[in-house]
Every structure is written in C-alpha cells, then in structure tokens.
Amino acid sequence: MVITGQFNDSLPPIMDGVATTARNYAYWLNRNYAPSFAVGPRVPDFRDEDDFTLRYRSLPSLIAAPYRLGVPRVDRNFNKAIESIPFDLVHAHCPFVSGNYAYTLARKRNIPMVATFHSKYRDDFASWMRLDITIEQAVAHVVKFYNHADSLWVPNEAIIETLREYGYRGPVEYIPNGSDMAPEEDENLKSLELKGCEILRVKNSLPVLIYVGQHRWIKNLRLLIKALAVSIKAGAEFNMRFVGDGPDIKEMKQLVMSLGLNTHVDFIGPVYNREELKAVYAASNLLTFPSLYDNASLVTREAAGFCVPTLFSREATTAAGIVDGKDGFLSGDSVEEYGQRIAEILSRPDHIRDVGAGARETLYKSWEDIVGIVYEKYQSIVDEYKWRQIRIHGFHKSP
C-alpha cells in the first residue's frame, strides 16, 4: 500500500484543471487503492464534503484572484495533521508554495517526490512581471524545483518541448489527464440537456457554443470574442455562453458590449456542481477553446465525454494529436480565421455530431482508468527509491 499526498496551490472550488486533477487523483486513489490526501489552501466560505482534503491557511492573492496565497508553514493544526500521516510518496502539482512544502516534507521523511509540469509558467510570469531578467530568474527557479523531483510527469507529450525551452534536461514521463464528465448509462440525456439550457439561459433552438474555464486574457479570449463578431458577419447564428470566472471578466463583458454581441453572448459565472456542469455539456454543440496557454486542457476532455467537439487554435499545445474534422476542429490563431471557422462549422450540424463522436472515442479517458496507471507508477517509484537508498547507505532509512 502506497500512501500519497497531492499538493497544489489550488483545489476546488477554484475552476482550474490542475485543481481538478489533484482532487481526482486523491478521490480515485482513496476509492480503489490506498489513502491519498488532496492538500491545498483554504477558500473562504467553502467546506469540503470529503475526509481526504487537507487545507492550510491562506491570504487573498493581489495579482491572481480568485487564487489564494497559501501559508502552510504557520498553520499549526495543518502541520499537526500532516505529521500524523505516514506518507510513502508526495506529488507536487505546482512548483510554488504547495510544491515547496511537498519537497521539504519529502526530504524530511526521506521519501520520493513526483512532480507534474501542468502549466506554461513563463506566460504567467510575463503577465505579472515587467523585466525580462526577472521573468527568466523565475523560470530558472521553476526548473530548479523540477530538478529536485524523483520523477517528472507531463499530461501531454507536446509539453516536453516547452520544458526543454525552459532549460530542464532531465527525464520526463507522459501521464495523460482523465475526466469525470460523461453521461451515466441510466441518465436521461434529454432531461440533462433541458437542465443545461436552463443553467445557460438558452431559450431558443440555435446552436450552443461554450467556453468553460478561467476568464483571463491569457487564455486568448480577446481573440475569441472578436472572432464571434466575425462569425456573425459571415452569417452564423448561435448562443455563446462563457462559464467560469476570473480577473478579466469585467473587461470581457465590456468588449462584448462594444462589439454589439449582447444578444448572442451571456456570462453564466462559475458552475461548481459537477452534475450541473454535466448538464452544461449535454446542452452544448461546440466548445470554443483557442487558448495557447493550456498544456492539456481538461475541459476539452470533459466536453468530449458528451460528444461535444472543440475548436482549437492549431498552434496550441493542448491541440496536439487532434485531427481536424475527425476528433476536433483546428483554426489559425487569428480573429478572422477563427471567426470564419466557427461559421463554417455551424453550417454543418451533422458533421459537428460526427466529430463529437470522434472526440468521445479518442479524447475521453476516465479518471478511474488513469489513476490505475498512476498507482502502478507510484508503486514502482517507491520501490526504486527504497532500493536506491539501500545502494547508497547499505540500508533503508525509515521516515
């Protein structure tokens, strides 16, 4: 039995793919294999309904709301709870506060640390910092952290190139993301669709386009909003719904207003309840996701579970492996081309359904299946670490 901790700087209710990954790792490991704990900062007025999530004190983030700045080392109750858990392995899902806590814990307990490179951190640094030298220093710090990992994972093989650009030269393993979004066998899809239309405030029979995720310009959302105007000029009719929240939502609404898109576009806010989110996908026809920032977006896999295809930017890392017109749609990274592509796709509703079925076949993988692979990897890493300690010290040092 391998007891593990999933450490991340965000956990649900933050609408974030990495938070969802860490939480699902812990959930399915607990359900099928061995104890695992999701570890992250507290969110005001939110209470976990499970017994495997550990929260530490946090402060508001001044530059990245709704994220929280965790302060685990000064939280006595949290540290007392951590001390009582006999971890065999810790998994850092980010290289910052929680990741460094996991690394310190691993060295203190003499246990291995796995780390996953989920995000293009240089892009985040560029949006927060003004000097190139400061950005590069921050990137070097990230690479230094990953060099400490006993095993480094990526959720998309195309991300390895980004890691090499950052300066990381060590070994990398590919472990794909999963999804918990798919209709159950006994679920009434028509009922789910009607519920989704109610959540999305859709009152007509026009196609439903969605964006699900953080409302940040770094997600290429300025291009998306302007492309919607282009598609309307090309004759497209649709309901566009933005689901989520983020620091740039106010400016996004202003841009929608200035382009006269109010009758087509609505902002729904975050949908935290997973059953309600399933209904959102069931009511949708196309996920519009032009982000160049994401490495292996979970929402595209979630949508695929409901046979909803995604329109990607061709240059996007998260679009790696997508075959245009088979299991997704691809567009150039320009307002004009993306907008024209939306109009073209919507003119062929039967084709959208066929491509959605292709997405379901190739993109959707359940978290339960993925975590089975993860647990086998954990066992192998723990065994190898113990043997390495024996070779080095002549015995295994217990924590």
Q: Check residue 127 and give its pLDDT.
A: 75
Per DSSP, what are the bridge partners of residue 119? 294
Question: What is the C-alpha separation between 241 and 284, in angstroms, rounded?
Answer: 9
- Residues 194 and 338 both lie in one domain: yes
If we measure between CA atoms, which residue out of 179, 190, 237, 258 comes closest to residue 212? 179
- Residues 140 and 91 both lie in one domain: yes
CB 216 within 8 A of CB 339: no
**Identity at 188, one-letter amino acid code:** N
Residue 398 lies in a domain: no
Q: Check residue 322 and give its pLDDT.
A: 97
Q: How many CA within 13 A on the CB side of residue 290?
A: 24
Question: What is the C-alpha separation between 80 and 160, in angstroms, rounded?
Answer: 37
Question: What is the C-alpha separation between 2 and 174, in angstroms, rounded?
Answer: 21
Residue 69 lies in a domain: yes
- Residues 221 and 107 both lie in one domain: no
Low-confidence ranges of the chain (pLDDT < 50): 397-399
φ, ψ for residue 304, nearest 5 deg: -60, -30
CB 255 within 8 A of CB 285: no
Mode of pairing for the β-strands spanning 265-269 and 173-174:
unpaired
Q: Tally the domains of the chain.
A: 2
- Residues 241 and 170 both lie in one domain: no
CB 363 within 8 A of CB 304: yes
- Residues 118 and 259 both lie in one domain: no
**Structural domain range at position 373:** 4-178+366-393
- Residues 237 and 291 both lie in one domain: yes
Residue 184 lies in a domain: no
Question: What is the C-alpha separation between 344 and 325, in angstroms, rounded?
Answer: 12
Q: What is the pTM of this model?
A: 0.88
Question: Each residue of 171-183: pLDDT tens digit?
Answer: 999 999 999 888 8
Residue 210 lies in a domain: yes
Question: What is the C-alpha separation between 126 and 395, in angstroms, rounded?
Answer: 46
Residue 399 lies in a domain: no
- Residues 112 and 136 both lie in one domain: yes
- Residues 164 and 221 both lie in one domain: no
Q: Check residue 122 and give its pLDDT.
A: 82
Question: What is the C-alpha separation between 60 and 52, in angstroms, rounded?
Answer: 24
- Residues 81 and 136 both lie in one domain: yes
Tokens, residue 291: 């982000």
Question: What is the C-alpha separation between 255 and 257, in angstroms, rounded?
Answer: 5
Residues 6+ apart with CB under 8 A from 216: 246, 247, 248
Q: Check residue 134 and give its pLDDT.
A: 87
Residue 35 lies in a domain: yes
- Residues 381 and 324 both lie in one domain: no
- Residues 262 and 166 both lie in one domain: no
What is the Cα 188 distance to its own chain's centre? 28
Per DSSP, what are the bridge partners of residue 310? 287
Composition of the chain by helix, strand, coil, percent to 5? 45, 15, 40
Tell me the Cα Rg of the chain: 22
CB 118 within 8 A of CB 258: no
- Is 128 exposed, middle or buried (CB count within 10 Å of its CB: 0-12, 13-18, 19+)? exposed
Residue 171 lies in a domain: yes
Residue 326 lies in a domain: yes
The domain that contains 18 carries what CATH number?
Answer: 3.40.50.2000
**Identity at 350, one-letter amino acid code:** D
- Residues 120 and 235 both lie in one domain: no
Q: Which helix (H) or strand (E) holds 151?
A: strand 151-154
